[in-house]
Homo-oligomer: A and B are copies of this chain.
Amino acid sequence: MKVVITGGAGFLGRRLAAKLLERGALTGPDGTARNIDEIVLVDLAPATGFDDARIRPVTSDIADPSVLSRVIDAETRTVFHLAAVVSAQAEADFDLGMRVNVDATRLLLDTCRTVGHRPRVVFTSSVAVYGGTLPVVVRDDTAVNPQSSYGVQKAIGELLVSDYSRKGFIDGRVLRLPTVSVRPGKPNKAASAFASGIIREPLHGEESVCPVAPDTRVWLLSPRRAIECLVQGHEVPAEALERGRAVNLPGVSVSAGEMVTALQQIAGKAVAARVRWEIDPAIERIVGSWPGAWDTARANALGFTGDKDFHSIVRAYIEDDRGRGVRA
């Protein structure tokens, strides 16, 4: 079988590809394991660094209608749709966000529908679909109420994935990802970029600006666990998703202040002192609209596993990335 990963040259896309190469197989539509013959990494940027004949990088824009129809074909049983214009960027460039987050998602679903064999589509959504006055406990079926264009666009993607699944066009799964932290490399244009930056930059000897108040609470998942959750999101049988296609993934709830305290406990006072607090109201407005925690009972029952605590997230980053000198 063939797997397509959009955003395949991105940080999560590349790690997911590496994990799939290692596994060698995914569950097929009949419930049995199928060998992965090809992993297509579609991205605007070239997906470099793989030395495996199963990897096929396609450097193209998924919003271009001809691209997806070339890469999704009769052999494609699985699509991980990770490509997106991130939160702060979608807020700054409304049309770009609509083009990639809405139009390309729909194009992808329509292409999957055209091949006719109901591919599994794992769609990554976000904490950003929530907002406004939130209940004390946020569950998978809590009302979405996005307060950013990114959140609106992801919520539209969720509705489409659900309806295309109900119609039998695809077998879709919506995974609402916590903020992934600690991401290696350079900061991206997500409003939540600080949630990696305030740990990563100080550990690399650089200053980092935290644009939200110390008591701002975020909901985090390590890259390692995020990749495991993406695979699990694929493996969950469709019958288990009858109550709803969207699953709120596990996370740890931590405030920006607690993050820096953890950094200090693990790496010392001098490292933690490299965080400078400078509120950016635009960032704080977006991040502050997201839930800082949610109920994970359903995710747990479906076999998803998160991190133990924020300390273990920081230690995982040091082991997986800083130790290998991964910066990009």
Q: Which of B147, B159, B243 touches A155 (beta carbons < 8 Å)?
A: B159
Q: Give per-residue flags for A160-180: 1 if the beta carbon is below 8 A from chain B beta carbons, else 0.
A: 101100110000000000000
Q: In the complex, what residues of B have CB within 8 A of residue A142's CB?
A: 143
Q: A132-B244, A244-B132 are in contact. Are A152 and B163 (CB under 8 A)?
A: yes
5 contacts between A and B (CB under 8 A): A132-B141, A143-B144, A152-B160, A152-B162, A155-B159
Q: Indicate how many identical chains form the complex.
A: 2
Give chain B nearest CB distance to A134 CB in angstroms.
11
* Also in contact, A147 and B159, with CB within 8 A (given A132-B244, A244-B132): no
Q: Does A255 contact B (CB under 8 A)?
A: no
| A223: interface (CB < 8 Å) | no
Does A146 count as interface, using CB distance less than 8 angstroms?
yes
A144 to B143, CA, bound (A): 7
Q: What B residues does A166 contact at CB under 8 A?
A: 147
A36 to B243, CA, bound (A): 49
Cβ < 8 Å to B, chain A residues 118-172: 132, 141-147, 149, 152, 155-156, 159-160, 162-163, 166-167
- Using a Cβ–Cβ cut-off of 8 Å, how many residues does chain A contribute to the interface with B? 21
Cα-based distance from A145 to B149 in the complex (angstroms): 20
- Beyond A152-B159, A152-B162, A156-B159, whether A143 also contacts B143 by CB under 8 A is yes
Interface positions, chain A 67-106, Cβ under 8 Å from B, are: 94
A146 CA / B146 CA spacing, docked (Å): 17
A146 to B142, CA, bound (A): 14
Q: How far is the CA of A162 from the CA of B151 in the complex (A)?
A: 12
A94 — which chain B residues lie within 8 A by C-beta? 167
Complex Cα–Cα for A156 and B244 (A): 17
State whether A244 and B145 are in contact (beta carbons under 8 Å apart), knowing that A94-B167, A167-B94 are contacts in the complex.
yes
A305 and B273 CA atoms in complex are apart in Å by: 60
Chain B residues whose C-beta falls within 8 Å of the C-beta of A156 in the assembled complex: 156, 159-160
Task: Find chain B residues with CB under 8 A from A152 CB.
Answer: 159-160, 162-163
- Taking CB atoms, residues of chain B closer than 8 Å to A147 are 166
Q: With A and B bound together, what is the CA distance between A146 and B145 in angstroms?
A: 15
